Amino acid sequence: MLWTMILVVLSAVLLVISYPQTDWGPLAWLALVPFFFALDGKNARSAFSLGYACGFLFFAGTLGWFVYVTYPGAFLFIAYLSLYFAAFAVAFVFFRRLGLLARLFTLSAVWVALEFIRGHALSGFGWASLGHSQYKNYLLIQIADVTGVYGVSFLVILVNLLIFESLKLVHDIRQMRRTQIIVTLLVCLVLGYGIVDTTHTRAYGQVKVGVVQPNIPQALKWDPRLKGRIVERSILLTRALGVQKPDIIIWPETSLPGILGESPELFEEIRKTARDMRIPVLIGTIVQEGEEKYYNSAVLVSADGAMAGRYDKVHLVPFGEYLPLRPLLGFVNRFIGLADFTPGREYTLFSAGREQRKFGALICFEDTVPYLRRGFTNAGAQFLVNITNDAWFADTKAPFLHLQAAVFGAVENKRALVRAANTGVSAFIDPFGRVIGAVQNERGKKTYVAGTAVAALPLVNRRTVYTKYGDVFAMFCFLGILGAIWTTRTASKR
C-alpha cells in the first residue's frame, strides 16, 4: 500500500510541475505513468480511492490559490474536482478487457469526456486541462483549431498510456509494436498539421493595441476614498502610451471602480484623456439599470470622448457574481452578502483603428470559456480582448494558468487575443498561440507590477473547423466510449 501511494503522489507532483509557474510541460507526457502502475490490478473501489487521492493532490497543488477567496470554498471545490480523476480510475479498471489499441483510445476518450463535463457542469471550470500543459508547444497545439484543447489532452493521455503499457512488458511484441507505430504516426501527423497550419496561414493586416496594467491591490481596489487615485494612475499610464500611437488602449476589468455614473467627474477625466490623445479607450466598470440590475461591463470611450458601445458580461461566476440556486442556497447569503449581477445577452462587438477592426471583449474568466470565444468570432470579431482582475488570488500561479487557457482561445479560432489584467498577466497572443509581448518590469516579472505595453497583432481571416462546429471531437469521444461499453458488456457475456 505504501508503494502504491508513493506512485500516486509521484504522478500528482509530476503533473503539478507540468503547469505554471514551473512550466515543465514535457513532463506531462509521462506524469501519469506511475498513477497507472498504482491502478494496475486494482478493483473499482480501490481504483476510485487512488484516483480521488491523485486528483486531490493535483488540484490542491494547481488550484490551491482559491484559499485567498475562501478556505472552505477552496476545499470543497478541490474535493469536487477530484471526482473526475476518481471516475477515470474506475474507467481504467472497467475497460481493461479491451484489446491494447482499443483500450488506449477508449481511455483517452474517457479523459476527454471527463474534461468536457468538468468544463460545462455547474457553470463549468476548464482550467488545468491536460492539454493546457502544452501551451508553449505551438506546433502541437495548432490541432486545437479542429479539436479544441481536448485533442491535445487526448494525445497527451494516449502517450502516457502507451508508455505504461510498453513498460509492463506483458503484451505480444507484434501487437505492441503496431500500437507504438500507430500512436507515433498520430503524434507526427498532429505536428505536421501544426507545421502546415503555421506556414500557410497568412495575416491580411494588423491592429496596434496598447494595454494598461495599473497593479491595484484587491484590498485597496474598492476603497471609495481611493477611486480618484486609482483612475489617475491608469490615466497617467495611458498618456505614456500616446507616443506609440496605438489604435486602441485597453484597461482591465472594473478599472473604473464603483458604478458608472456615481462619479461623473472620473468618467469625464477618462473621456478627456481619449479626446486629448485621439485614441479610443476600453474600460471595465459596473453599470446599473433601474434599481436591481447590475452588469459587469466593458465600455468603449471613442477618440472623440463619446461612449461608443457597451458589452455586458454573459457568463457570470457562481458565488462571485451570482448565487446559484438562490431559493435553496439563500442561507449562504447571510455569510457572503452577495447581490446577483444580471447576465448580458449579446455578443457586442467594438471597433478599433482607422480600419475599424472588429473585436469582442471577454470579461474576467470569459476568455477561458470556449463557446464565448467562438461566439464572438462567429459574430465577426477580427481579434479578441480579455479584461480581467486576478488580484483576488494574490501573487500566485493563478494569472499564469489564466493566460495558459487564453492561449487556446487564440488557436481554436485563429484570432489574436489581447489581455489587460489589473495585476497581470497582461499580454499579447498571436493567432497561433504565441505570446509575443507582455507588461513586465526590468527583471521580467509580469505580475504585481505596474506598466504598459504595445504590440501590433496580426489578423487572420479564417473560420476554423472549431469555430464553425465547436466540440465535435469531444462528441466523437463520447460515441467511442458508448461503443467500448457495448463491446465490453458483450465480451463479458460470452
Taking the CA atoms of residue 216, residue 217, residue 219 and residue 225 in that order, the dihedral angle to the nearest 10 degrees is -20
Assign 147 a pLDDT band (cuts: 50, 70, 90): very high
- The angle, 0 to 180 degrees and rounded to 10, between the axes of the packed helices 149-168 and 472-493 is 40
What single-letter amino acid sits at 126? G
Give 326-340 pLDDT, tens digit per residue: 545 544 444 444 557
Residue range 9-49, pLDDT digits in tens: 999 999 999 999 999 999 999 999 999 999 999 999 999 99
- Which of 313, 397, 414, 446 is catalytic? The answer is 313
Query: What is 205-461's CATH number?
Result: 3.60.110.10
- Is the CB of residue 127 less than 8 Å from the CB of residue 117? no
Query: Using one digit for the tens of pLDDT, what is the confidence trace for 54-65?
Result: 999 999 999 999
Question: Is 355 assigned a catalytic role?
Answer: no
DSSP for 5-44, please give it: HHHHHHHHHHHHTTSTTT--GGGGGTTTHHHHHHHTT--H
DSSP 223: -
What per-residue confidence (pLDDT) applies to 172? 87
Residue 420's φ and ψ, nearest 5 degrees, are -115, 110
Ramachandran region, residue 80 (left: φ > 0; alpha: ψ -120 to 50; beta: rest): alpha
- Structure confidence by residue, pLDDT tens digits, 113-137: 999 999 999 889 999 999 999 999 9
- Helix ranges (DSSP H) in 278-425: 326-329, 333-336, 370-378, 398-413
Q: State the pairing for strand pair 307-312/293-301.
A: antiparallel
Q: Pick the catalytic residue: 165, 321, 364, 397?
A: 364
State the average pLDDT over residues 339-347. Answer: 88
- Give me the pLDDT at residue 171, please: 79
Active site residue 253: yes
Are 163 and 33 a contacting pair, CB within 8 Å? yes
Do 142 and 8 form a contact (C-beta atoms < 8 A)?
Answer: no
How many other C-beta atoms are found inside a 10 Å radius of the C-beta of residue 336? 11
Q: Is 313 a catalytic residue?
A: yes
pTM of the model: 0.95
State the span(s) of the chain assigned CATH 3.60.110.10: 205-461
Query: Which residue is it, cell 455578443?
Result: 347
- Are the C-beta atoms of 304 and 271 separated by less than 8 Å? no
Q: Point out the catalytic residue in the list 54, 165, 227, 253.
A: 253
pLDDT at position 139: 98
Mean pLDDT of the chain: 94
Residue 159 parent element (H or E): helix 149-168
